Amino acid sequence: MRIIIAGATGFVGGAVVRQAIANERITHAFVLTRKPLPEDIAKSPKVTIIQHNDFSAYPPELLEQLAEAEGCVWAIGGRATQFPDVETARKVSVDYALAAARAFIAGLAPKLPESQKFRFVFCSGKFAEWDQEKSLLWLKDTRRIKGQVEKGLCDLADANKDKFEVWAVRPAAILKKYAGLLDTFTANTGGFIDVDKLAKAMLKIALDGYADRIVEADALVKI
pLDDT of residue 191: 64
Per the structure, the count of domains in the chain is 1
Kindly report the CATH number assigned to the domain that includes residue 201: 3.40.50.720
pLDDT of residue 140: 93
Per-residue pLDDT tens digits for 129-148 = 999 989 988 899 999 999 99
pLDDT of residue 148: 97
Per-residue pLDDT tens digits for 65-124 = 999 999 999 999 989 999 999 999 999 999 999 999 999 999 999 999 999 999 999 999
Can you give the pTM of this predicted structure? Answer: 0.92
Closest CA to 77 of 100, 50, 60, 46: 100
Per-residue pLDDT tens digits for 155-169 = 999 999 999 999 999
Average pLDDT for 200-213: 98
In which domain, by residue range, is 8 found? 2-220
Per-residue pLDDT tens digits for 32-50 = 999 999 888 989 999 999 9
Q: What percent of the chain has pLDDT over 70?
A: 93
Cα separation, 179 vs 223, whole angstroms: 19
